[in-house]
Amino acid sequence: MKNFFLSPLFAAFFVCISLLLYFVISYIVRLNFGVFDIEKSGATEVLTYVSYGFAAGIVLCLYKDHIHTHRQTTYFALLFLWLTALLREMGIQHWLTTHDTTAIKIKFFTNPNNPLYEKIISASLVLLVLVVVCYLIFKYFKPMVVGFFKFKTIYWTIATFGVLTISTQFIDRFPANYVKATGTHLTEPVRFFLKIFEEGGESLLPLLFALAFVQFHFILHKKTSQNGGESKDTAPDSV
- For residue 91, what pLDDT is reported? 77
Alpha helices in 62-115 (DSSP H): 72-90, 92-95, 106-110
Residue segments in the chain with a per-residue pLDDT below the cut of 70 = 1, 32-42, 100-101, 226-239
Q: Are 11 and 211 in contact (CB under 8 A)?
A: yes
In a domain, 237, yes or no: no
In a domain, 205, yes or no: yes
In a domain, 227, yes or no: no
In a domain, 225, yes or no: no
- For residue 236, what pLDDT is reported? 47
Domain holding 126, by residue range, is: 2-220
- For residue 63, what pLDDT is reported? 92
In a domain, 92, yes or no: yes
At how many degrees (to 10) do helices 188-226 and 10-33 cross? 150
- For residue 230, what pLDDT is reported? 52
Residue 124 phi, psi (nearest 5): -65, -40
In a domain, 71, yes or no: yes
- For residue 132, what pLDDT is reported? 95
| Domains: count for the chain | 1
In a domain, 231, yes or no: no
* The residue count for the chain: 239
In a domain, 155, yes or no: yes
- For residue 234, what pLDDT is reported? 46
